[in-house]
Every structure is written in structure tokens, then in C-alpha cells.
A and B are shown apart, each in its own frame.
Chain A
């Protein structure tokens, strides 16, 4: 830490610092490039804080373990990459229907399958939304710097606790592995959210009866509120139901509690959008190249701007629609063959043309690749 309070930190390390600042005291995971540093750092730091680290037999077990720990009242997290993220899907769905707060960090690497383990990619965007089966809520946040990784890990925990749902921190290898200066200056003023606890007596507790905000207060196992948790569709008592009416009510509630509150966590950045005719949409590591490309295009008198979503899921429908009204063309730049762009097209195609800049060779999209893709086709 230098005198101005700055420190050179790796993205993965900043993720752990953010989690600890948010109150995370339980990590279960399995080694996988490029997220292993998160496990290593947690194994070193957690015992010092009286927290618990465990390396499970696989990612699937890790996902199960963090749900168990959260049910026991401890804020919990796991971190992985594509292959592990695929193994975790069933239990992520369990955390969604049983409404268990937890954070899953996916440091994306080249896919599919073993793919390019040490290379960046953004090919899990749709998996972060639809990876597990059935209708369910999904929150995914994507930072683009080491500082942001710290801040949005804290936000991921706050959202998980507030909405009682799994939250995915969707990073890519670039942000996870790079080192940058970051500051811990305002660490004490960071807002920390804890899950809503029941205020009634144990015998009056109805485990899955939601309050006005669609979110049921959550007791921990061992506090005297002996209740039942299941992955079966259940009624407000938490017990399985075959009632079609109750089943639909549950699914719609757990989806609505997130999607109807999107305005509370629509995180994004606008860069030189005020008079932009060409809008680049990019997130995570690629957005840094996009920012340079905007400056470069502006030098070529092309009115370019950047819209950078940080909240990837739920999709920022309102903001993207507004951007599409003002823009002539939108270019979605991502290290996949076009995933976020599908959502952008769905919303923006009525207002403007949507083009894609895609790269799946394990390298970050460069500013030049963006400027060429745009500059070249744009007749002055």
C-alpha cells in the first residue's frame, strides 16, 4: 500500500478482498484455470478471520457446499471457469428455487469444453442466463477493472442477500489475471447488505411466505426455526406441492423479485455517448479496447461512443432501447460469436442497425480491430 492508499492487485485477488469486505466467510471450490488464485487466496485468508475454506471433490460439490453454508447462516462463495460452471448448473438452479443467497464467480476462458484454459473469452454469457434448466431468476455482473472487481464482488453479495438468490460475477481471464492499482480507501463506508431475518416467533414462521417485496425472511438452520428446504416446487410452508396454481405462483415470484427490481441494480457506464451516432456496446475486458477505439474514431471525426453494461443479467432493456433510439448503428464487440448481441438485436433492431464484432481465438479484441471494423465501413 503506498502513501496514497493504492496497491498493485490482481483481479482475482481483488475479488477475494471484495468478498471478505462483503462478509463472506465460507469458500468451497475446486482448482480450475483461470480462477484458481481465488481459491488459493481464500485458503490463506479465511482461517485468519475465523472463516472456512474447503476444496471439494468437484465444482458440483462446491456449489452444494456453499448452499449448505449459506443455509447455516454464513455468506458463501465459489469460483470457477467454464467447465466447472457447467458442472454447477443443477445446484445453481437449486439455489434459485430454494432462494439461497450465494455468489458464483466465473472467470471465463476459451470454450467450449477444455478449450483455451489460459485465454480470455466471453462465451458463457448465455450460460450465465440459461445454464440451468427451467425458468429462474438470473443476476450476472461483469467488472472491467481490478477496482471494479472489488466493488462488484461486494455488490454481488449485497444482491444475493437482498434478493435471496444466486448471483454470478461474470469475469473473463483478462480482468481476472491482470494487475492494476486499486484503492481500499473507503472500505469502511462500503454498504453491506445482510439477508432479512424473520421477526416472528419460530412457531409462527412460514419459511417461504414472502413479504410485500416478494422476498421471504430467511432464518438460518440452528436458530430454532426448524423448517424444510427442498428443490421440489413448494408452497409457502416450504413443502412440496402439486398444485398448479401454487407452482406457477412460486416460479413467477422468484423471477419477478429480481426482474421487477432491475432498476435498483442497473449498473452500466456511458462514455462519450452524448452526441454519438455509432455506439459500441462492450463489457468486461473488451470494453477497455472499445474505449480506446471510441477516442481513435473521434479523432477520425466519427461520432462514436461506448455503452458498457456491468449488469449483464437481467438485460438492461430500457437503457439499450434508449441508446438504440439515438444511434445510427450499434456495434456489439464480444469475445464470442455473438451472445449479448442477440439481446441487443431483439431490443434495438426496430430503431437502428446492429452489427457484431466477434473474436473467438483466445485473444482480447484490440482497439484497432474495433476501429477498423467501424471506420472501414463508415463512409464520411
Chain B
């Protein structure tokens, strides 16, 4: 089998090739998660990856960790139970844009508010892919989708601001093109003792791309390359940021972590 060491070490190789469409960004983003885990040398037995329902949420099935594919939107609530029950586990949640911010929105803001030590990674392809191309809470205004035949009139979320506003203590955004940055943000997110939210802009050539004439996978990747700019550069020169998508590390402000606070209560009685 011609595959890289990382692939054979961290993937359930017998499950590949995965189900994602040709050119889908989710495969590339999943690799950034795997490389981040490898870089941090986490013990595979202690890594738990939880996902909801949707294209992105098929990721854990391919990865050789403790993997949990839950119900649509509820990954963070399942993950909260796992992490609180066994804080030793590194709990990573992979969700889609609809999974995390539509049906899962309530759990997202509360997990962030609690600042529980969970790393949440959203593969945001701006569409409901698994069900065939409906608009999602992040589909750009005016774009087309199978349920927005005349242009989407829903105003999209800025997921990073949403998570930060709710209480996440590490927030960042990268893209399927900016795979090295994505890996870096995930590493720092895992290391952050608190709720980390990393958004990975993905690409969906099959539905979002075709419906909105964004070209093939290469072209959609190139769009990300040319239209995203790191916040660090914009901080120095605001003009650079004009009608660009901001990426990079947005917020890094460690705060008391939920389970550590609970442990203080437990320790009161162990004395």
C-alpha cells in the first residue's frame, strides 16, 4: 500500500478511500487534525474524536482513535459527558457548519460558555453537503442552494465571533488551502486548557461549487489562497484586509477551565 507513515499510523486504512467527493476539502482538513495530534505526540488510546451528522462528521470513522459518531448537532453535548467523566481524555469534536451552528448552536454556545477543555473543529463548507446542497447558517448572503433557488436571504454567522462571544478561550480560523496554519491552530487549540474553537473553511465542489459556479476543486482552493489573509498582517496594515477573509489566531485568553473548577469542589471533600 503506497501511503505515508502518518496515514498508516493514524488512519483505519482498511476504511479508505473515504466517502467524501473528489476535491472535497474535508479530507485535507482531517489530515491537519491528524498531523496536529502526531506533532503533540498524544497517546492514541487517550484521544477521543466526537462528531455529529453530516459530511464532516464521517471523519472520526476513518481515524484510529476512540471515535464517536453521534446525532445531528449534539456532538458537543456527548463530548461534554465524556470529558467530564474522564478528564484525562483528549476530546476533539469535528462538526460541520450546519451541525455546529444550526441544530447544534445551543450546545456550541453553552460548551463555549462553560470553557470546558474540548477542542472543537468546524469544517465549514457553507452548505449542507450530505443532504444534497441546502444552504446553511454560513452560506453567504445571495448565494444559491437547493433550498435557496432565488439567492440565500439568510444572513450568515461569523462562527469565530459567535464562539468567542459565547466564551471560547482559544479561537482561530484557517482553510483547507492553508493546511499548515490549520494544523498550527489545532495544536494550540488542543494545548489550550479550555474551550478551543477552530474553524476550517472547506470547499464543496460538488454542491456549493457547482451551484454557485465556483469552478473545480483547484479553483476553489485558489480562491481561498487569494482571498484569505492572516489577521497579523491586517493588524499591521488594515488596508490589506479590505474585503478579504480573516484567518489566523483570533483569540487566546486562557480562563479557569470547567472541569478543574469542578475538581476543586470534589477536593473539598477528599480532605
Cβ–Cβ contact A222 & B86, under 8 A: yes
Cβ–Cβ contact B80 & A226, under 8 A: no
Given known A64-B74, A231-B69, contact A71–B82 (CB-CB < 8 A) = yes
Cβ–Cβ contact B67 & A222, under 8 A: no
8 Å CB contact of B45 from A66, A224, A231, A239: A224
The answer to whether A251 has its CB under 8 Å from any CB of chain B is no
The answer to whether B238 has its CB under 8 Å from any CB of chain A is no
Cβ–Cβ contact B110 & A57, under 8 A: yes
Distance of A40 Cα from B82 Cα, bound (Å): 22
Cβ–Cβ contact B45 & A72, under 8 A: no
Chain B residues whose C-beta falls within 8 Å of the C-beta of A74 in the assembled complex: 85-86
Chain B residues whose C-beta falls within 8 Å of the C-beta of A32 in the assembled complex: none
The answer to whether B88 has its CB under 8 Å from any CB of chain A is yes
Given known A61-B107, A226-B44, contact A221–B74 (CB-CB < 8 A) = no
Given known A54-B80, A221-B48, contact A61–B110 (CB-CB < 8 A) = yes
Cβ–Cβ contact B69 & A69, under 8 A: no
The answer to whether B145 has its CB under 8 Å from any CB of chain A is no
Cβ–Cβ contact A26 & B84, under 8 A: yes
The answer to whether A204 has its CB under 8 Å from any CB of chain B is no
Specify the chain B residue showing the minimal Cβ separation from A231. Answer: B71
Range for the number of chain A residues in contact with chain B: 35 or more
Cβ–Cβ contact B82 & A229, under 8 A: no
Closest CB of chain A to B82's CB: distance in Å?
Answer: 4
Distance of A146 Cα from B84 Cα, bound (Å): 31
The answer to whether A287 has its CB under 8 Å from any CB of chain B is no
Interface string of A89-105 (1 = CB under 8 A from B): 01100100000000000
Interface string of A35-54 (1 = CB under 8 A from B): 00000000000011010101
Specify the chain B residue showing the minimal Cβ separation from A64. Answer: B77
Cβ–Cβ contact B89 & A221, under 8 A: yes
Which of B191-199, B249-257, B262-270 lies at the interface? Answer: B262-270
Given known A65-B77, A223-B45, A239-B15, contact A72–B71 (CB-CB < 8 A) = no
- Tell me which residues from 198 to 237 in chain A have a Cβ below 8 Å from any Cβ of chain B: 220-224, 226-232
The answer to whether A335 has its CB under 8 Å from any CB of chain B is no
Most buried by B among A56, A65, A90: A65
Specify the chain A residue showing the minimal Cβ separation from B53. Answer: A231
Interface string of A48-87 (1 = CB under 8 A from B): 1010101011101110111111111110100000000000
The answer to whether B60 has its CB under 8 Å from any CB of chain A is yes
Count how many pairs of residues, one from A and one from B, have CB atoms less than 8 Å apart in the complex: 130
Cβ–Cβ contact A71 & B68, under 8 A: yes
Cβ–Cβ contact B266 & A69, under 8 A: no
Cβ–Cβ contact A65 & B269, under 8 A: no
Closest CB of chain B to A99's CB: distance in Å?
Answer: 13
8 Å CB contact of A72 from B12, B69, B86, B270: B86
The answer to whether B65 has its CB under 8 Å from any CB of chain A is yes
The answer to whether B61 has its CB under 8 Å from any CB of chain A is yes
8 Å CB contact of B81 from A57, A66, A224: A66
Closest CB of chain A to B168's CB: distance in Å?
Answer: 15
Cβ–Cβ contact B81 & A222, under 8 A: no
Specify the chain A residue showing the minimal Cβ separation from B116. Answer: A54
Closest CB of chain B to A272's CB: distance in Å?
Answer: 46
The answer to whether B46 has its CB under 8 Å from any CB of chain A is yes
Specify the chain A residue showing the minimal Cβ separation from B19. Answer: A240
- Tell me which residues from 60 to 100 in chain B have a Cβ below 8 Å from any Cβ of chain A: 60-61, 64-71, 74, 77-86, 88-89
Distance of A232 Cα from B53 Cα, bound (Å): 10
Closest CB of chain B to A94's CB: distance in Å?
Answer: 5
Closest CB of chain B to A57's CB: distance in Å?
Answer: 4
Distance of A50 Cα from B84 Cα, bound (Å): 12
The answer to whether B106 has its CB under 8 Å from any CB of chain A is yes
Cβ–Cβ contact A58 & B106, under 8 A: yes
The answer to whether A168 has its CB under 8 Å from any CB of chain B is no
The answer to whether A20 has its CB under 8 Å from any CB of chain B is no
Interface string of A226-259 (1 = CB under 8 A from B): 1111111000000110000000000000000000
Chain B residues whose C-beta falls within 8 Å of the C-beta of A67 in the assembled complex: 70, 78, 81
Cβ–Cβ contact A68 & B80, under 8 A: yes
Cβ–Cβ contact A60 & B74, under 8 A: yes
Cβ–Cβ contact B85 & A73, under 8 A: yes
Chain A residues whose C-beta falls within 8 Å of the C-beta of B71 in the assembled complex: 64, 90-91, 94, 231
Given known A224-B45, A239-B61, contact A68–B81 (CB-CB < 8 A) = yes
Cβ–Cβ contact B266 & A47, under 8 A: yes
Known: A54-B80, A72-B81. 12 other contacts (CB 8 A): A50-B266, A52-B85, A56-B80, A61-B110, A67-B81, A68-B83, A68-B85, A74-B85, A91-B74, A222-B66, A228-B60, A228-B61
What residues make up the interface of A, taking CB atoms closer than 8 Å to B? 26, 28, 47-48, 50, 52, 54, 56-58, 60-62, 64-74, 76, 90-91, 94, 220-224, 226-232, 239-240
A sample of 17 cross-chain residue pairs with beta-carbon separation below 8 angstroms, ordered by A number, consists of A47-B262, A48-B269, A50-B270, A54-B81, A62-B77, A65-B80, A65-B81, A68-B80, A69-B84, A71-B68, A74-B85, A221-B48, A221-B68, A226-B45, A226-B65, A231-B69, A239-B61
Question: Shortest 6 CB-CB distances between A and B: which pairs?
Answer: A68-B81, A65-B81, A64-B77, A61-B77, A69-B85, A72-B85
